[in-house]
Amino acid sequence: MNRRVISRGLAALGLVLLLLLGLDWWFPLPPAPQYSPLVLAADGTVLHAYLNPTQKWRMKTELHEITPVLRKAIMEKEDRWFRWHMGVNPIALVQAAGRNVFGTGRTTGASTITMQVARLLEPKERTFGNKLLEMLRATQLELHYSKEEILQLYLNLVPYGGNVEGVKSAALLYFQQTPDYLSLAQTVTLAIIPNRPRGLVLGKNNAAVLQERNRWLRRFGASGLFPKQDVEDALLEPLEVERHAAPALAPHLSRRLVRQFPRQAIIHSTLQRSKQYKTEDLTRNYVRRLYELGITQAAVLVVNNHTRQVEAYVGSADFRDFANQGQNDGITAVRSPGSTLKPFLYALAMDRGLVTPKLLLPDVPTNFQGYRPENFDKRCNGEVTLERALAYSLNIPAVRVLNQLGVPAFTDKLRQAGFHNITRNRARLGLSSILGGCGASLEELTNLYVTLAGGGRHQSLHLTSTAKQASSTRLVSAEAAFLTTDILAQLTRPDLPLGAASSMRLPKIAWKTGTSYGRRDAWSIGYNRQYTIGVWVGNFSGQGSPALTGADVATPLLFDLFNAVAYNSPNDWFAPPAALDFRLVCAETGLVPGENCPNQVIDYFLPSISSGQHCQHLREVLVAADGAFTYCRACAPAAGYRRELYPNLLPEVAAYKEAQGIPYRRLPPHTPLCQLVRGGPEQAPTITSPTPNTEYVLNAREQQQLLLSCTTNSEVQQVYWYVNDQFLRAAGATERVFFRPTPGPLKISCADDHGRNTNVLVTVTELE
């Protein structure tokens, strides 16, 4: 008997499943509603809302936003048997039929919440046939969805007049709150409007809405649905409501995320609402003060160093400023980075053992295989320490270090750091890349400084809270990152805004500025242990401005942002890594002291990595008794000379001092009696002008001339210039020679007074 019952039960169940599958095949479920895309802040509040594809405000109400109060009010008003029926309430149908046939009571259609969902999903003319289809659809919905999901669909589709649909849309547009933050009076207000969306219009018919709301509140109170005191308080609550604009914070990031996740109705960003609002407000007001300087735009990115989450994202000063292309996203726009890559270069060079903070670098006019960089102020300093070169953002020392490190090694690290434009153009990049000759975005640059703040470990930035935690990559050592940070935190520097040093609100940060060629882009990126903030100021049109420099227009905004956004950051600062150590170095060179280094200073170094080269800034020279000549070991007489110490300068530094009239102890000429050619080809003169393998176009009418110049070893007194192997003239080692060349290919040769020679090939074209 039991087997027979079980068999019949299984057969019945199979028949139901078969009918259900057949129903779905014959009567497929309608597609899911098209919701308004919402971008949420980290705390779940709505940052930005968009119209859905049908131009309606239909914001998806999540299950946790359906409060017990809202659930009770809707079910009591619309369908008190919602929990018990299967989409159609047969008792209500019979009662409605009786009222409609006999004309007693209010005419009604006995629609359940599920039947209303069916009608809202597929609006049709109200006929008896469509009513039957509605009932069939309601039964089908009950088989596919839970009661909570059906209630959620209902609350997402109910009309509130005009193009407003769903309780969340109404709550945000009229009360500026999500449904789970509404009061009892506000909740009941939204519960009663869907039945009369044209007659009860919030903001227009508030008096009628208030009267109807209070009627239902009394009714709910009489039935004991809500506590009596809560109902009495709700009755006293005024209804002064109007239509508000949809939330529109973070428009650039919101647009970016909606494009990235086109099928998501709700996107959870990492933005902090208060920080986003402050950053937008500060940026907009700051740029307004720059209009008279011809500067119209700015972009700001705020990153939490510990989580790598973006907490504020401002793509332009004003998204609605169409005249100045406000809809452009300055966070992702590729611009010239100016000098902002220098800290990363020096950190890499420290890790290679090429430099330490106190190492002296030549800062003199230099020709790097045809590339002649200049400092921002067009001046040179002779020799400067690395820390001064970085703090003062000097260009020539940076190019020299990049030349030592190698462009491929530098760009490979940038590629690992996510610099997409550098990845695409790596083959065409040269030494100018360290001065802004490559393209980068504010997002890429800011994350590079997050890497320094994070001890040299790089990780992708997070824009959404649901993003997977990416693995980190070490780009520089913790020791190099700390040394770079230590330099960038110094206040003795030219890019400190005027008056900032005396300000009580000067934030404790490490920062670097940058200005692109033509003053088209101003950058300032800074960080402390908790936050990194990147600032770009300029014009999206690319138009430059004389006032557009990182120090003058970008850093003041950076300081304001740190004071406003990161005012509660801990006061703790970066601590030196345990592997970092101190040593004494010669103050004249920054190298390990040699035999003649009385002036010594303390410097950081990376054990087993930093160079252990000993200082030789002074060299011993054999000098004639009268000081007129010097001798080499081969030609020194048996007696009649003395040993003296002379500066051992690089040829380009000696040439710079000579050209600028800077006094230094110059080596006397070598004795003319010596017949030996001293030194190898590496000590031959270096021709600094003309540039090798270059075409020079001269105007015949202006009688233009070509400059000949070179750098030589300090003992060289005279050089000899040749053009196409024909002697031109003799000149002093640092003398600048001009001559009128003939058109065509030229071989320029320079020989010194020790017989060493070098050549360059150029082409001259003459225009009439």
Max alpha carbon distance in the chain (Å)? 142
DSSP state letter for 553: I
Please report the beta strands in 562-657, taking only residues with DSSP state E, as ranges in sequence order: 581-586, 600-605, 618-624, 630-631, 641-647
CA distance 455 to 420: 23
CA gap 70, 220 in Å, rounded = 12
Residue carrying structure tokens 């169940």: 13
Q: In 10 A of CB 93, how many CB atoms?
A: 16
Which residues, in sequence order, are CB contacts of 447 under 8 Å at separation 6+? Answer: 303, 417, 418, 458, 460, 461
3-state secondary structure of 168: helix
d(CA 118, CA 27): 13
CA distance readout (Å), 383 to 363, 481, 590:
5, 24, 11
- Is residue 183 classed exposed, middle or buried when 0-12, 13-18 and 19+ CB atoms within 10 A define those classes? middle
My answer on whether omega of the bond before 690 falls inside 30° of 0, hence cis, is: yes
78 is catalytic: yes
Across 472-599, where does the E strand assignment appear?
473-474, 510-515, 521-527, 531-538, 581-586
Question: Which distant-in-sequence residues (6+ apart) come within 8 Å of 471 by Cβ?
Answer: 459
DSSP letter for 691, please. P
Q: Which two tokens stand for residue 256?
A: 């970016």
The token pair at 550 is 């990182």
User: How far lies 38's CA from each of 32, 161, 222, 253, 274, in Å?
Assistant: 17, 21, 39, 12, 18
Question: CA 291, CA 284: separation in Å to the nearest integer?
Answer: 11
368 DSSP 8-state letter: B
* Closest C-alpha among 204, 189, 207, 242 to residue 77: 189
Cβ contact 363:395 at 8 Å: no
Kindly give the residue spans of alpha helices, DSSP state H, lying in 108-227. 113-121, 128-144, 147-157, 167-170, 184-192, 206-222
Q: Is 339 a catalytic residue?
A: yes
Distance CA 753, CA 717 (A): 7
Please report, to the nearest 10 degrees, the dihedral formed by the alpha carbons of residues 118, 124, 127, 130 taken in order.
Answer: -50
The separation between CA 88 and the C-alpha centre of its own chain, rounded to angstroms, equals 56
CA distance 658 to 670: 18
C-alpha to C-alpha distance for 191 and 193, rounded to whole angstroms: 6
- Residue pair 301/343 in contact by the 8 Å Cβ criterion: no
Given the residues 339, 477, 516, 714, the one annotated as active site: 339
CA angle 190–192–195, rounded 5-degree value: 115
Number of Cβ within a 10 Å radius of residue 110: 20
Catalytic residue, from 65, 78, 444, 658: name it: 78
**611: helix, coil or strand?**
coil
Q: Hey, which residues are catalytic here?
A: 78, 339
